[in-house]
């Protein structure tokens, strides 16, 4: 606890006005920020498996962010260094650097954004049921162009390259290309039709190619319900000779409902194929309901619940099924203009036909963060 007190004191010290340290350039067009955070977490199941090994760990973060907003383009970039110290499982203590960059064009006929990220991670893997260390590069390029006042075309290219330190796990590269056509049904609602192809290359295993056809809507779906809705059919083709294919429904739904000005409710549903670190295919369904309540005095409260179901396949043979359930409660309060306090509690349970993956997990987290 002494170590935690020092981390919290450091975050508070860096947030006081005398040490503000904010740099403003080009008459306000560019800004440079320093971010700090100190967190304390108790995890009842660090490895996400039936052994349910618990530990307490502290995390300190230090980052530098750059933002520029001038003309047609906005740009941002940042780096962060994080260190987590485990009280009992000392081998899990680790320093985790990360970096990101983004470029966006929000005005003009051709609009879009480009995001690039890199990170090192040490986190529990719900599918491998162990902690995994890996480095990861991600990229996302989105471009949208209006053909006329009724139709527009959007393309999105995403890339992921993940490499595991544990050589019993399988590195993967995933490249996805999507093409959507938007039709302005009303001034606030677009109808969408699209096609997506995704290539998954897995080291030491067979590769997969996913094809998906989707229909949906984007914008104001109901008077107080905004968001996007996509649903369609997908097929996973595996490169293993004579293996066959996996077929299924795919969906992506993200909506926000605001019954009052001080409360918002988010509903998210997804169903998609994926490839695990153990080189298995999954057909996963996820549904979550998250609500946020803004109270007097700037205190923000959140509550959420979710359900997931995953079917695991070795090539195309069904080998395992998991059902997951979670509840989460959180609070956020700005102590000053630059210092924020957060707290959260999460309960989750995973039921599986694989005994080692049948477990419960509870997480408690307290944090202080500052940006100046």
How confident is the model over 311-333, as a mean pLDDT? 96
- Domain 98-362 matching CATH 2.40.160: the answer reads yes
Lowest-pLDDT range of 8-22, 70-84, 234-248 = 8-22
pLDDT of 226 reads 95
pLDDT of 242 reads 77
Residues 6+ apart with CB under 8 A from 253: 227, 228, 229, 230, 231, 267, 268, 269, 270
1: pLDDT strictly greater than 50: no
pLDDT of 26 reads 67
4: pLDDT strictly greater than 70: no
Domain boundaries, the chain: 98-362
pLDDT of 15 reads 44
317: pLDDT strictly greater than 80: yes
How confident is the model over 305-324, as a mean pLDDT? 96
- Under the banding of pLDDT at 50, 70 and 90, the label for residue 18 is very low
Residues 6+ apart with CB under 8 A from 372: 14, 15, 19, 20, 21, 22, 33, 34, 338
How confident is the model over 191-213, as a mean pLDDT? 97
Name the nearest CA neighbour of 96 among 117, 122, 116.
122
Using an 8 Å Cβ cutoff, are 341 and 332 in contact? yes
129-149 pLDDT, tens digit each: 999 999 999 999 999 999 999
Token pair of 2 as six digits: 């002494």
240: pLDDT strictly greater than 90: no
How confident is the model over 139-167, as a mean pLDDT? 97
Give the separation between CA 99 and CA 116, rounded to whole angstroms: 8
pLDDT of 195 reads 98
First to last CA, the chain: 26
Query: Across the chain, what does the average pLDDT equal?
Result: 92
Share of the chain above pLDDT 70, in %: 93
How confident is the model over 207-215, as a mean pLDDT? 97
pLDDT of 21 reads 39
pLDDT of 24 reads 74
233: pLDDT strictly greater than 60: yes
- Under the banding of pLDDT at 50, 70 and 90, the label for residue 6 is very low
Higher-confidence residue: 3 or 191? 191
- Under the banding of pLDDT at 50, 70 and 90, the label for residue 85 is very high
pLDDT of 22 reads 65
162: pLDDT strictly greater than 50: yes
Share of the chain above pLDDT 90, in %: 82
pLDDT of 19 reads 35
How confident is the model over 85-99, as a mean pLDDT? 97
289-313 pLDDT, tens digit each: 999 998 877 899 999 999 999 999 9
Name the nearest CA neighbour of 357 among 47, 130, 49, 54.
49
pLDDT of 30 reads 87
For CA atoms 222, 228, 231, 232, give the dihedral sign: positive
User: Scanning the structure block, which residue is given the tokens 């619940």?
Assistant: 305
């Amino acid at each position: 606890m002494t170590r935690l007190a020092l981390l919290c004191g450091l975050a508070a010290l860096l947030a006081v006005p005398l040490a503000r340290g904010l740099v403003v350039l080009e008459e306000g067009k560019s800004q440079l920020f320093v971010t700090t955070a100190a967190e304390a977490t108790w995890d009842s199941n660090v490895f996400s498996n039936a052994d349910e090994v618990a530990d307490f760990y502290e995390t300190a973060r230090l980052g530098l962010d750059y933002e520029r907003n001038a003309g047609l383009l906005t740009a941002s970039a940042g780096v962060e260094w994080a260190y987590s110290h485990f009280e009992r499982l000392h081998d899990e203590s680790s320093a985790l650097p990360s970096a990101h960059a983004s470029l966006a064009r929000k005005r003009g006929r051709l609009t879009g954004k480009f995001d690039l990220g890199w990170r090192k991670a040490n986190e529990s893997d719900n599918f491998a049921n162990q902690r995994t260390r890996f480095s990861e590069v991600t990229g996302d390029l989105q471009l949208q162009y209006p053909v006329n006042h009724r139709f527009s075309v959007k393309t999105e290219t995403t890339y992921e390259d993940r490499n595991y330190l544990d050589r019993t796990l399988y590195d993967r590269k995933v490249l996805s290309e999507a093409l959507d056509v938007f039709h302005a049904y009303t001034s606030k609602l677009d109808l969408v039709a699209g096609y997506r192809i995704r290539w998954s290359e897995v080291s030491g295993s067979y590769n997969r190619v996913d094809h998906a056809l989707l229909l949906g809507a984007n914008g104001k779906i109901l008077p107080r319900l905004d968001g996007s809705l996509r649903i369609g059919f997908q097929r996973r083709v595996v490169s293993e000779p004579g293996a066959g294919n996996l077929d299924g429904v795919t969906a992506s739904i993200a909506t926000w409902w605001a019954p009052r000005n001080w409360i918002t409710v988010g509903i998210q549903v997804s169903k998609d194929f994926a490839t695990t670190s153990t080189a298995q295919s999954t057909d996963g369904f996820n549904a979550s309901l998250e609500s946020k309540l803004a109270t007097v005095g700037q205190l923000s409260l959140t509550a959420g619940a979710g359900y997931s179901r995953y079917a695991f396949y070795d090539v195309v043979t069904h080998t395992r099924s998991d059902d997951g359930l979670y509840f989460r409660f959180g609070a956020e309060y700005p102590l000053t203009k630059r210092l924020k306090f957060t707290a959260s509690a999460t309960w989750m349970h995973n039921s599986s036909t694989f005994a080692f993956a049948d477990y419960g997990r509870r997480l408690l987290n307290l944090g202080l963060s500052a940006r100046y």
